[in-house]
Each structure stands twice: as C-alpha cells, then as structure tokens.
Amino acid sequence: MCYIENVSPMKMKRILVKSSAGPYSILSGAGVIRRASREIAGLGRFSSVHVVSSPKVWHAVGKSVQRGLRLSKGGSIHLFDDAEAAKNLRSVEEITRSLCRAGADRKSLVIAVGGGVVGDVAGFAAASFLRGVKLVHVPTTLVSQVDSSIGGKTGVNLPEGKNLVGAFYPPALVLTDPELLRTLSDREYRGGLAEVIKHAIVADAEMFAMLEKDMEKVLRRDRSTLDLLISRNVQIKARVVSRDERESGLREILNYGHTFAHALESVTKYRRYQHGEAVAWGMIAAAFLGHELGLTRADVVSRIVALIRRLGPLPAWPSVSPTALLGAMRSDKKTRSGILRFVLSPRIGAARSYDTVPLHAVERVLHFTPRLITASGKLSQGRHD
C-alpha cells in the first residue's frame, strides 16, 4: 500500500505512493535537495530538463535547487507568476509555449519547483504538453510538501470557479526538503500548519498529541521537529491517496473543515483568508458540528479548538448570515446534487464523511461559532445562545 524506507546516512525517508500510473516515491528529509540530481538520474535518461517555477520562489530557493540539480548545461528555467489569480489556462499556454521554444520533446522532464500553485499549473502543463511528459515535484511551501505534491491532482482555475480544469497526473518523483521552507512567510507557514492539524485530527492521534506538546518548536520551525512532522504528514497523505486515488471514499476525510472553509473563502471573495486560515475556522466549526450531532465529545472539541488557536489570531469570521454561508456551501462544485457533505471526527485520529446532517444543526453552528470564538483567539466572554 504505502511502503516506507529509511535512507541513510541522513534521516531521509522514502515513501512509496501507489497510483493508477504506477508507484512513485517521495523522498523526504532535510538535505534531500542536495541529492536531487542523483535521484533524478535514477528515473532514466531525458533529452532535456525544464524547471518550472515562479520569480518569487526562484529568488528564495533557486540557488540551492540549481545546485542540487546540477543544472549547468541542457537545462532551462521557465518562470511564471504564481499568484492564485494566475492559476489559469493562460499560464498553461505560457509554460507550454516556453517549453516548445526551448526545444522540449516527449523525452523531456519537467521539474515543478514551488508551492501548490506552481505544482498544480506546471503539473497540468506537463500532463498536457505532447500528451504528457515526465514530472518531478520539488514542493517549497508547507502545504505543497504535505498535501498538494502528493496524490496526482493538477489543474487550474476558471473565472467560474477554482480547480475546474485539470487532470490526475502522478509525478515520477517528489523531492521534499523541509530546509526549503526557511524563506516561507509566517502566514503561509501557519496556514500550512492548519492542514497538518487536519491530518492529525482525521488520521493520527499520536501526532495530535505531539503537536500539543511541541507546538512552540513547530512554530519556530525547529529543524528536527519539522523534519519529523513533514515526513509523518507525507506518510498520512500518501497512505490515503494510495488507497483512494480518485476520491471515491477514504480521500474525502482530507476535506475535514473544508465544507465550511470553502464557504468562508467564497463569501469573502477569496480576499480575507489565506486558505489555511479558512480551514482553521472550518475545523473549529466541524468540531462544533460533530458535538451538535452527539458525535464528538466536548473534551475532544475542546482539544481541537485549543490546538487550532495556538496557530495565532485568525482574520475575523465574516459578518454574513448563516443562510448566506449555507448558500455558498450549496454552490460548491463538490456538492453532489444539492446534498451537503461534512467530514466529522468522532474522536481524534478518526473521521468519516456524512451526507445526512440536518440543516438546522449546520445553521446553529454557523450562528454560534463566531460568537463562541473571537478572532483574537480568546474564548468569547459574552453570552451566546
């Protein structure tokens, strides 16, 4: 299913992911990038190598990546804007045309170096250029290291909605080096930690306890803590997508907090929250909903909320009615024939998806969550009903 091997001499882990296109490995650990050229050589011979990244990412990590790849001759670098607003078909055209001009052919390799935006766009470009050229991910944000580089989803946004055009296109290899996160902004880093907490809630009670114990070290990006945390999260995502690549069952648990999060992002026009911040609010609401339905015990809710609050203050809950938020949930593209689905966690380390949640329970949660939890991180002192 998901095979793990320790790679000596450094504490690197090789994690095998099963996919419809065959297995691929994720090499995770501090210093992995220094082995990049050796690992890529193991994939076979390529007519040319093309790095796709963004000016911002390349400025931050380009030197170490270039050194690791030993990209002196026969390599070209294609930079495009990685703002979420540029995650569109125009960027795919820009990248593929640039690959053409650089002489790429079917035996070329594309290496996506960046966060989820670079990975999704470059991944889709690699999937469609000449009907598919080999792809390696070098994720450089916490989200891309523990989430988007694993599982083969690639794609872009349309003006009509997020991620509406895409393909399942598993990479040949993922090189995950926590040291590349040094330059990441605090907001992006903490946003990524929300997805880490999500993994702990739905699949790993032991990691949840470790986060409770070591959150200070995690927040200051302590080297060995981060190293361990990232490979553990890679393993969780790898295990889930190995069992359910196409999201027909198990993979849905990774949407914990996301039904709420997508609604919060949509009513604020994607301007107020970094995605992880919306997920943080969404997980608090999901924990309350679990309690409302008699599924999640109060002490579990309290642990979940307390851990999330340690990420720091969140942008305020929007001042819109529960009805408006429910409307946004219904228009989510993942909503199947108007039925709302919520992933709920009966206890830490376990979750499943429910599609029979009474609307009045969701409405109550949407009503009292912002009254119970203030954006500053303190439990509200005021009365709530």
Ligand X SMILES: NC(=O)c1ccc[n+]([C@@H]2O[C@H](COP(=O)([O-])OP(=O)(O)OC[C@H]3O[C@@H](n4cnc5c(N)ncnc54)[C@H](O)[C@@H]3O)[C@@H](O)[C@H]2O)c1
79-107 burial, b at 16+ Cβ within 10 Å, e below that, comes to: bbebeeebbbeebbebbbebbeeeebeee
Which span sits near ligand X by CB under 6 A: 94-102, 175-183, 304-312, 358-366? Answer: 175-183
Q: Which is nearer to ligand X, 308 or 373 (CB)?
A: 308
Site string for ligand X, 49-68 (x = CB under 6 A): -----x-xx--xx-------
Q: Is 251 a catalytic residue?
A: yes
| Distance in angstroms between the alpha carbons of the first and the last residue of the chain | 47
Least Cβ distance, residue 170 to ligand X (angstroms): 11
Q: Which is nearer to ligand X, 213 or 246 (CB)?
A: 246
> 48 vs 163, which CB is nearer to ligand X?
163
Strand partners, 111: 51, 136
Q: Mind giving me the DSSP string for 245-305?
A: TT-SSGGGGGGTTHHHHHHHHHHTTTTS--HHHHHHHHHHHHHHHHHHTT-S-HHHHHHHH
Task: Please say which residue, 210 or 279, places its beta carbon nearer to ligand X.
Answer: 279
Does 175 interact with ligand X (rule: CB under 6 A)? no
Which residue in the set 163, 268, 353, 374 belongs to the binding site for ligand X (CB under 6 A)? 163
Sole binder of ligand X in the list 39, 94, 120, 177 (CB under 6 A): 120
Q: Which helix (DSSP H) or strand (DSSP E) does residue 58 occupy?
A: helix 55-69
Q: Which pair of tokens denotes residue 76? A: 């070209």
Could you say which of 131, 269, 336, 383 is catalytic? 131
Q: Is the dihedral of CA 228, 233, 236, 241 positive or negative?
A: negative
Beta carbons within 10 angstroms of residue 344's beta carbon: 22
CB 120 within 8 A of CB 153: yes
Q: By C-alpha distance, which of 315, 309, 317 is closest to 378? A: 309
Marked catalytic residue, from 35, 199, 232, 275:
275
Least Cβ distance, residue 385 to ligand X (angstroms): 36
Binding interface with ligand X (CB under 6 A): 54, 56-57, 60-61, 82, 84, 87, 114-118, 120, 140-141, 143-144, 147-148, 151, 153, 163, 180-181, 183-184, 188
Catalytic residue positions, numbered: 131, 153, 195, 237, 247, 251, 255, 258, 262, 275
